[in-house]
Structure 1
């Protein structure tokens, strides 16, 4: 900011003009159409920074959505700033993405924040939700004494060494059963989280490491935080959004000229998975199946 501040020789009006031009560019990026392709994988996450609101300095959330397209490339889908990660905030953000044309979503990857999870369930019906395995492991770590952490982490990690979906589920159950006596809280956490943490296993095995955690988007958030640390306290929410979106535009542009996030061959495997899912959904929704369901009520 010093380059545009006192002693730089740049007037306030010039700074305002530059910021206005940047805001126009950022606005075009945040409002662009997403109808050019579909995004089977969508990642959602938030990071927090200090923002001045009137006479107060408060924490504001920047939410970011990224997606993997059917071409196997990554894009930043959107950004927004709000005073909390409430259900209403996340819902408004997701509604905005859908209004811009986001479609074809089959797996949403995020942490287990209650407001986010509820908004995803409402706005992406028919999509699976992948609970970030890294965040889950952190939750488990906090539930056991520090001296037991290595053994518990090692046990859960054995689940992710398998490459067959059935083996992944069986190993999860086995580890949970092993922990039932010594670490009942961990065993219960595993039982409750199984479907969500293992959602990735319904997708091509070559994609598992790409979609079983929020690590890709967290790396982007770390870069936002690194740039934001220079500012320390933003003068207003708009300034926070301006800097953060400028950072993600850089990443977005870089992704367009680098190699695909996932290969063409593996995306063909995903198409097979999606087609099988759609056939199963269509079969379940036939008049005969609906009649059978009503007869059992």
Structure 2
């Protein structure tokens, strides 16, 4: 599959992850939302939770829980309460659709390219939140990075064996260091014996080559991909050879 124009990888992968791994996306989305709420409440209080500071103007006082319905399912949102006055995240609950779209896009982008403080900072700014400190944003990025890394390196044994696998490459133009370059995203989706479908792996490379596909499939096999009977792909020679080399016996 080739994209003839510049596309947003976060949007593309966000749709793929939402379709094939709704539990993952719901969990990551909930983590990002609750982290943002906690960090913004700290900013309203003038100091971080549990930290003494002469700049503190208020204190946290537990949470009130609220269900947030999203396209990925219902998320338990923990809204911080304050001892004096109140805190309400209008950027999330009053502008729900715009906030949800931005959050899903950044979660997918973090999965695809890794998490950085700068990327999380841009997310916060896109939602109209300007009161968070760099250290708060950095901690949010670190927490999310750990979850993303755990998913990308997770064992595939528990959910497998995956009887059917689909593999494809998406060619897109991305901006890097002030210039536009071509990048290729390799994606594999699997279906197990129970009919459960999920994204098995995703990686970015400079070109769709036999070597790139070999490394990609070797990683999937090392993480436990087995029992594959049928692989659906295009006729790219490098992809076909990598399938034969790493998944012998699969049609």
Which has a greater percent of strand? 2
Work out which of the two has the higher radius of gyration on C-alpha atoms and give 1 or 2.
Answer: 1
- Provide TM-score, normalisation by structure 2: 0.47
**Greater RCO, CA 8 A, separation 6+:** 1
**TM-score normalised per structure 1:** 0.40
